[in-house]
Structure formats: C-alpha cells, structure tokens
Structure 1
C-alpha cells in the first residue's frame, strides 16, 4: 500500500474510520476512493477526511451493484449503523434509498488502474457487487487484491456462497481464499482524528 500512486477502493467498510487510515497508508501520492451509500456515513466520511487533512480521499455517495439503479437499505438497530443492509431483515427500524451502479462506473479509470486493494463490505449484497466488478478484473494491476467480507446469514447455504465466488473468479487470475473471522460488527465509531500529520496530496 506504500507504493507510489497506489489506490485503496472501498465499498462500505465503516468508511468514515478506515478511509482515513487507508489515506495514510497510500501516502500523498496515492488515493482512496470510498463508496458509501448511507448519507449519514458519507457526511461523516467527508468530515473525517477534512479533519485529518486527507486531500487524497474521494467519497462517492452511492452503492456498488451489478446494474445501475436505486437500492433500498435497511437499518435493523440504530445502535449499529454499520449494520445497514440491502437485504431486508425481520425487523426494520428505518430505511433509505441510494443510487447504485457497478463499481467501475463509480470510480475513475485512473483509480481502477492504480488500485492495489479493493475492499468490499456490503452486508449480504456481495454477489451483486462482485458481479459488477468482474468484467474489469483483467484490467487491474498485477498485484491487486480483493478483500470481500461475506455475510453468511444472508445466503441460503454456505455451498451456494462458495460456488458463487468461485464461478465469478474462474475466468480471472484471482484465487479465492477463505479467511474465517470471529469479529462482530461494532457500533458506529465516533469521528476519528488521526494523531499523525495530515495525509497531504493534491485535492481530487
């Protein structure tokens, strides 16, 4: 991530917090493209980037999917804004709509070409987000990596989940690797101010 002009493209990963950390990792010559459908998180993201002097963060208020359109997102509990999902839960406290499009339409050609890491955390909508990304995978840099957080509870079976991603990677040079995690979603973090010097870099 320290390589010159490396790019960290993220879709919904508690982006107000991690986008600032990523901005420091890529350095002034790199950039972070943060795709966030929630208006509240998007506002927090831009505020955090501004508070930390991260001019190398570009925030996009939209959702990554397989086709352009509008998606409805649901919040099951107000105590966990990070649990906002596109798959309707049994209990819905609130909801909102957001524009959606394949990730290659939400980030620039330059950002895609420079992307060293693409992190996707879409709480059950992984198949659609990955499907929209697959056509451009061969155009990514040779050392590019995809990190996709999968929500098993939103899938009919683990077999279908594994098959879905294996099929989508079959025509590319990417090799799926399963990294089990025992972490649980945390409540929304307070605004983050990094103690290190500003990220620097030219405004996007």
Structure 2
C-alpha cells in the first residue's frame, strides 16, 4: 500500500453490521506499561520475530482488531438523524482501544481511530527487544546532527515514539541515558515526547514512582 506525500495511508473499508452499536470506550489513564515479547501469552501465536504492532501496516493492524461502529448524530436540525459513523477499534492481542466519533464520515472516523490506536499502542506496549536493538535504521534516518526530524502527523511518528519509550524504559526513565543511546540530544528526545502529551505524562509518572525529579 502506498502513502501520500504526508506519510498518511488512504482510508480502508471495514465491514461492520448495523447491530454493532456500543457505549463510549473509557479513556486509558494511569496505566502501567505492558511489556510484550515474542514468547509471551499476549503475543498469541508465539511467532519468532514478533514486532511491535505500530510497525504493522494499516491493513495488518486492522486484521488484528475488533471493529465496531456507533450511531452518532447526523444532519437534520433539532430532530437529527442517527448515522452509524463512529468507529471503535480494539487491538485483540493487547486490549488497547481507540475511537473516533467526531466526523460525519465513517471513512474519516476510521482514519482517525487508526491513528489514535497506533499512538496508544506506542504509549502502552513496551518491548525490551526493541530497546536492545535501538537505534533502529528508521530512527537513524530521522536523526540529523542529533535532531529528530519527523512530523507528529507522519506514519513514522508512532514508531519513533514507541522506540523512544522502549529505550527510556530500559534506561530507568533517564532521558540523558536514553538520548545517548539514541544518538540525539536530550532536549530533542523530550520534544518528541511532548508532541504526544500522554507520552510526556508517562515519563513523569514513571520517574515519580522511582522517586526521581519530574521533567518540565
């Protein structure tokens, strides 16, 4: 599948029945990051060479998800029609969830839900295997003179975010040590986390649990 110039994939069709309505999924807060490796039960098939789900294409990621849609308000003034455009995704191997209901178009909500799911997976799923292999070829291609060059809208962003968090976890959530391994400046690493605020919150949560000073 090809990407456009911005790094985004075109919408993907999903088949869901009209009976598949659901209540709003609760946002994930104050979670403990889960570590998944090739030989763990959460991996399912225990296939050698398992990789983090953010590395999957949109089609591959959707194939691992349970997809639902929800009726949301459509056009019609005070007595607005209910249109099934809200998209809810749950990644079966990990239980990570994401949703999008704000658009009138199911295709647009699907695209947003997929982006949010990839970010949540990057945030919540840790891999020691990834940390030990860092920096990856993709990371190296995105670092120039210790500066991380990526838009938070690009397909690569959740991949880089996941790798950064994996390395931080492996280095006891010490940004200086993680940045040294990733061959970037500490300020650039913090800037990357701040592009997705929950990642920066996670850093400080983990540091607080270890009695370390919070970053600002």
Q: Which TM-score applies when normalising by structure 1? A: 0.29
Q: Which TM-score applies when normalising by structure 2? A: 0.28
Highest CA radius of gyration, 1 or 2? Answer: 2
Instruction: Say which structure is richer in strand.
Output: 1
